[in-house]
Structure 1
Amino acid sequence: MWSIPWHKIPWISPRNLRVLLVILTGTSVVMLAAGFFLNRRRRRYQAVTMAKSAHTPSMRGRYPQPFMSLDPELEVSPEELFRQGQEAFTTAIQLWEKGLGQVGSDGQQVQVNPQLASQLRQVLRHAYTVQDVYEHISSTKDQLDGGNTHSALPLEEDEGTGSDSYHSTASFISLDNVEIPLINDVHEFYQLGMEQVTSNNVPYRMLRTELTCCSSDQDYLAKLYCVRLAFLDLMCVPGTRQYFKDKGREILSLLYQNYNRDSSTLVQYYDDLLDYTEENVCDVSEELKMRGVMDMSFYDVALDFILLDSFDDIANPPTAVTAVMQNKWLTDGMKQSALSTAVWSISKAKRSLLQKKDGFMSRFYLIGETMGPALVWGFLGTDQIFTSKCQKFKDKIVQFVKSLFSLEKMQYVSREQFTVEVSQLARNTCEDLLAAT
């Protein structure tokens, strides 16, 4: 039998020969394991494919049907079943939204139950709550797993979710008695905020104690700490962040269109501001800190710094604006033109003083130049219909802020549950603003 003369090969020593044999053996084991793994993946893929094809909608169906039962012999993982359930739930939400849109449309010809619209709104509100729970917990789990986007929802309490989230969710989605759960007397999350206030760990730009109907400045700051964390958790979820971005654009556009103006330029400024903020968070944070904004939360920037300050400015308008509105010799058209000129001049003067000429504030002033005259006319002008819409817009924003800081309307039990409550309240407010605009 022919054999290789290993002893005549200079680099093959007995030790190197043993190493070579170990490497060859290890390589064989790895190849066998890889083949076994790929074979399992192939069988699992076939099982999932068969399960999906078994429930593919026929030509008579308009929408895919969710899983009702599965062949017990099919090897479908719990993670895959959970993902498919989420897809079915998302489809259900889309159907309910479409149904609500048809019921509320002006051209609806089919006679429907008068209570159907109210029932659909209630179902959607609680469905959004469940969707937020899924997105929030999945996002948190993904971060802990190093960004694994296919991780399943953990079922044990020690996985970082806690049982409180599931109990609160179940109380939200009960179809037998669709009601907001009763207020819990133990506000543990609020107490955590109060401890941070005692330790002087809650910086702020200005106190909104009176507006939010808080009992004291310490009470306001303790709740502010909780509100910041809730919005931080919400905005970490891409789907939720995009939802509020889209709703903000839609509300702003509709409000400006009621001023009988084309909103395309305003929408362009709005998108540019948000895109710049997402791409330059550190720069925006430093720029806003120079104006006293101590935190980059949605509340601190969008609600407190932009909206509430804007309402304060309109309640105390500059002299140039007051002079235009009080001039009885000017027609409404002339007043609107003069308002645009006055607001533009004020904005131009402010932009000239900016240290960062192409930063957040510069982009924000562009929105102010466009939207400012409309808001001034809406609150101080003679168009009663537009004035009513602007006043409703302001009232709903202020009421939203008050509700965030109310122990009667928000439970402040835990960070997870409070985040869900904030999300539900914010979504309801967005829908109310769209209806009022």
Structure 2
Amino acid sequence: MLPLLENGIPAKGDELYQAAMIAVRRNQVQCRTNRAHMLNCESKEDYLAKVHCIRQALRLLMSDTTMRDWFASMGMQLIADILSTAGYATEDFYVTFEKMMEYVKKPENLTSMNKNSGIERGSPASVISIVQNRWLSQSVKETGLGAAIWSVLAAKKQMLKNPRGFMGHCYDISKHVTPALAWGFMGTDEELKGLMNEFKDQVLLFTRSMFSREKCRYSTVAELADDIFALAREIFTTLNQRLSDCPR
């Protein structure tokens, strides 16, 4: 993390950030969505400059096999723990996750991973209508919600140019994860909803911390990568502890 000056203010070595800002002003940094407000950035330029820096830092982190394996392992375990806490089976999730890892480790698949799926986002009307139906019991709503999500994801996968590509694997994982998340956020189980909101808040805090020049050093790619990894370890520890306290 950042060293402190004598007056207690974090020292800002921002050479990497300033170089990124030059790239932004030359229109060399692109992104699909402006999330400056959500991530507490000062402006769109500030957001794009930080995106450029973070991309380089993550590229450095992911170039290390040990780091890649750590992030994959921690991510898989967190999702599995959430599924288990929510009362969902994890076996099929593990299978689809491992297939995704096998796919992304092959260099020849890099091109397809970088392509936009072109599929619109948003909650389908069928999902919303099930959750909002006051006449259905909790168990019927949960089952119906899962069936509706499976149907939507299957249809979206069929629309892909390459159903066996990167997005196809994403949809396979989503079939096992999204029903639990959707029920957690939209269902009637208030305890589960509280857990999901805590999880969401922690992820947002982690992301905002990455985009904060007070929390991360935007001086060199290596230092930014170190700080992002430190933040990742911190959030994984916090979430693991929270999930371990939940009855299953």
Q: Which of the two has higher C-alpha Rg?
A: 1
Give distance in 1, aligned partners of 2:103 and 2:9.
Answer: 41
Aligned position for 2:65 = 238
Q: Which amino acid aligns with 2:189?
A: D
Aligned position for 1:273 = 100
Could you tell me whether the CA contact under 8 Å between 1:392 and 1:436 is conserved in 2? no
Could you tell me whether the CA contact under 8 Å between 2:12 and 2:213 is conserved in 1? no
Aligned position for 2:27 = 200
Superposed, 1:319-334 pairs within 5 Å as 319-334=125-140
- Displacement of 1:186 in angstroms is 3.8
- Over 3 Å counting, the alpha-carbon distance change for 1:240 and 1:426 in structure 2 is same
Whether 1:416 and 2:230 are equivalent positions in the alignment is: no
Whether 1:248 and 2:75 are equivalent positions in the alignment is: yes
- Over 3 Å counting, the alpha-carbon distance change for 1:185 and 1:249 in structure 2 is closer
**1:324-361: CA deviations, max 9, x gaps?**
01111111110111011100110111111111021111
Q: Identify unmatched segments of 5+ residues in structure 1.
A: 1-128, 130-167, 173-180, 293-308
- Displacement of 1:414 in angstroms is 2.1
Aligned position for 2:185 = 379
Q: Which amino acid aligns with 1:215?
A: E
Give distance in 2, aligned partners of 1:203 and 1:286.
Answer: 19
Give distance in 1, aligned partners of 2:213 and 2:123.
Answer: 34
Aligned position for 1:340 = 146
Give distance in 2, aligned partners of 1:388 and 1:381.
Answer: 11
Give distance in 2, aligned partners of 1:228 and 1:268.
Answer: 29
**1:155-207: CA deviations, max 9, x gaps?**
xxxxxxxxxxxxx7xx69xxxxxxxx952134111101101112222121221
Whether 1:223 and 2:50 are equivalent positions in the alignment is: yes
Give distance in 1, aligned partners of 2:192 and 2:181.
Answer: 9
- Displacement of 1:282 in angstroms is 4.4
Q: Which amino acid aligns with 2:117?
A: R
Aligned position for 1:259 = 86
Could you tell me whether the CA contact under 8 Å between 1:230 and 1:415 is conserved in 2? yes
Q: Identify unmatched segments of 5+ residues in structure 2.
A: 244-248
Give distance in 2, aligned partners of 1:258 and 1:228.
Answer: 33
RMSD, aligned α-carbons: 2.1
Give distance in 1, aligned partners of 2:155 and 2:224.
Answer: 42
Whether 1:427 and 2:233 are equivalent positions in the alignment is: yes
Find 2:12's aligned residue among 170, 173, 185: 185
Superposed, 1:88-99 pairs within 5 Å as none
Could you tell me whether the CA contact under 8 Å between 2:187 and 2:193 is conserved in 1? yes
Find 1:290's aligned residue among 85, 92, 116: 116
Q: Which amino acid aligns with 1:231?
A: L
Q: What's the TM-score, normalizing by structure 1?
A: 0.52
Find 1:357's aligned residue among 139, 149, 163: 163
Q: What's the TM-score, normalizing by structure 2?
A: 0.89
Give distance in 1, aligned partners of 2:112 and 2:77.
Answer: 29
Give distance in 1, aligned partners of 2:223 and 2:12.
Answer: 14
Number of residue equivalences = 239
Give distance in 2, aligned partners of 1:423 and 1:254.
Answer: 21
**1:92-138: CA deviations, max 9, x gaps?**
xxxxxxxxxxxxxxxxxxxxxxxxxxxxxxxxxxxxx9xxxxxxxxx
Superposed, 1:44-55 pairs within 5 Å as none
- Displacement of 1:286 in angstroms is 3.0
Give distance in 1, aligned partners of 2:40 and 2:54.
Answer: 15
Aligned position for 2:40 = 213
- Displacement of 1:232 in angstroms is 1.0
Aligned position for 2:246 = none
**1:383-413: CA deviations, max 9, x gaps?**
1221111111111111111111112222312
- Displacement of 1:366 in angstroms is 1.2
Q: Could you list the structure 1 runs, at least 4 aligned residues long, displaced by more than 4 angstroms after superposition.
A: none
- Displacement of 1:380 in angstroms is 0.9
Whether 1:397 and 2:203 are equivalent positions in the alignment is: yes
Q: Identity across aligned pairs (percent)?
A: 29
